[in-house]
Homo-oligomer: A and B are copies of this chain.
């Protein structure tokens, strides 16, 4: 007999190995040696399966520790989400299309809001801060995932080399600044770039946290 978690595990394996498009009802069913329509006992349709997979992955964030120091906590949270999406690039389009606000998403969000409230943020400021960090993290992960070919080798050296090749192909005559900056950007390990942007946001938040409007 099947079980919902088996279906989700198989779906995740397919997405990780062969990319977003491999997540098909028929493909998952075949991997489970089952008729395609067998899955409809557990999920009403394909989108429900996708949403359940997102929800399943968001569960990993439940274990993230959130220290009382709010910038550190937001760094941990955003870092964990980014790491999660980086581990499953094929799942990123599902997150983008989807329900960040299921039970697990709400639970993590609630923890973050509670933490910010404890740090002196008003409910409004806390919600805005969290939303900003979330949008940045999701957007960054999306651009990151878009660069990865479905079943390609994703080790950092290879990626940096590929980025360099791609960026150096930009004609320096037409795009001088792009060419100059691109040769540097290729060497940025993506983690470094992610933290840089996140630190910028946290610095901005700290500034308004020091003002009366917080």
User: Which residues of chain A have a CB within 8 Å of any CB of chain B?
Assistant: 92-93, 96-101, 106-107, 109-110, 113-114, 117, 123-124, 126-129, 131-132, 134-140, 142-143, 146, 166, 170, 174-178, 180-182, 184-185, 193, 196-197, 199-205, 207-208
Q: Let me know if A177 and B123 touch, CB within 8 A.
A: yes
For A134, A166, A182, A200, the residue with the greatest tally of chain B CB atoms inside 10 Å of its CB is A200
Q: Can you give 12 contacting A-B residue pairs, CB < 8 Å? A: A98-B146, A106-B178, A110-B175, A114-B177, A123-B181, A128-B196, A135-B197, A137-B139, A139-B140, A139-B142, A200-B208, A203-B208
Closest chain B residue to A196, Cβ basis: B128
Q: Let me know if B124 and A181 touch, CB within 8 A.
A: yes
Q: Let me know if A113 and B204 touch, CB within 8 A.
A: no
Q: A109's contact among B114, B134, B178, by CB below 8 Å, is which?
A: B178
CA–CA, A174 and B146, complex, Å: 36
Q: Let me know if A200 and B205 touch, CB within 8 A.
A: yes
Chain B residues within 8 Å of A181, by CB: 113, 123-124, 126-127
Chain B residues within 8 Å of A92, by CB: 96
Q: A129's contact among B117, B127, B200, by CB below 8 Å, is which?
A: B200
Chain B residues within 8 Å of A97, by CB: 93, 146
- Say yes or no: A106-B204 contact (C-beta < 8 A), given A139-B140, A142-B138: no
CA–CA, A98 and B176, complex, Å: 23
Chain B residues within 8 Å of A205, by CB: 200, 204
The smallest beta-carbon distance between A193 and chain B, in angstroms, is 6
Q: A197's contact among B126, B132, B174, by CB below 8 Å, is which?
A: B132
Q: A202's contact among B136, B138, B166, B204, by CB below 8 Å, is which?
A: B204
CA–CA, A115 and B177, complex, Å: 10
Q: A117's contact among B126, B177, B193, B207, by CB below 8 Å, is which?
A: B177
Chain B residues within 8 Å of A114, by CB: 176-177
Q: Let me know if B132 and A136 touch, CB within 8 A.
A: yes
